[in-house]
Amino acid sequence: MSIKKVTTEEELQTAFDFRRHVFIEEQQVPEVEEYDEFDSLDAPCDHILVYYKEQPVGTGRLRIVEGYGKLERICILEQYRKFGLGKEIIMGLEQIARDKGLTKVKLNAQSYAEGFYEKLGYQREGEEFMDCGIPHILMKKYW
């Protein structure tokens, strides 16, 4: 397992392909809701890929929002979801946040994944809300 910052258009397209498969095809998120102005190499965010046996299989991105590192667009191809790669993505994005001098991160977790994020030190804040027809909760972590 390894994490790599996206630095080429080809790598960015790979991340988009994973997001299309997981969010648009599996979870039925409208395409217009999935992609935004932060989906380019020169946008003010960092995209990463996670590798399993030297093959990219998942992605995530980090933006700075209101003094927080905001973890977004985290996904892994279905057949690779039981290998601890989600934790690797979170740790990789948190390290980028630390490298930027941030002391706190947040994310909008799909509600079913609350326990996963709690195990990684995140705490729920506020009530459940809907995003793209999927229940979510805001979660934060400080260090």
**What pLDDT does 36 receive?**
95
Residue 142, in any domain of the structure: no
Per-residue HEC secondary structure of the chain comes to: CEEEECCCHHHHHHHHHHHHHHHHHHCCCCHHHHCCCCCCCCCCEEEEEEEECCEEEEEEEEEEECCEEEEEEEEECHHHCCCCHHHHHHHHHHHHHHHCCCCEEEEEEEHHHHHHHHHCCCEEEEEEEEECCEEEEEEEEEC
**What pLDDT does 69 receive?**
98
Residue 141, in any domain of the structure: no
Q: Are 96 and 46 in contact (CB under 8 A)?
A: yes
Structure-token pair, residue 7? 């630095």
Residue 88, in any domain of the structure: yes
Residue 135, in any domain of the structure: no
**What pLDDT does 37 receive?**
95
Band of pLDDT at residue 17, cut at 50, 70 and 90: very high
User: Residues 24-53: what's their mean pLDDT?
Assistant: 95
pLDDT by residue (tens digit) across 49-95?
A: 999 999 999 999 999 999 999 999 999 999 999 999 999 999 999 99
pTM of the model: 0.94
**Can you give the residue range of the structural domain that contains 93?**
1-105
**What pLDDT does 103 receive?**
98
Residue 30, in any domain of the structure: yes
Beta bridge partners of 45: 63
User: Residues 27-33: what's their mean pLDDT?
Assistant: 93
- The pLDDT mean for the chain works out to 96
d(CA 119, CA 91): 12
Residue 138, in any domain of the structure: no
Residue 45, in any domain of the structure: yes
CA-nearest of 109, 113, 100, 96 to 139 is 109
Number of domains in the chain: 1
| CATH number assigned to the domain comprising residue 28 | 3.40.630.30
Residue 125, in any domain of the structure: no
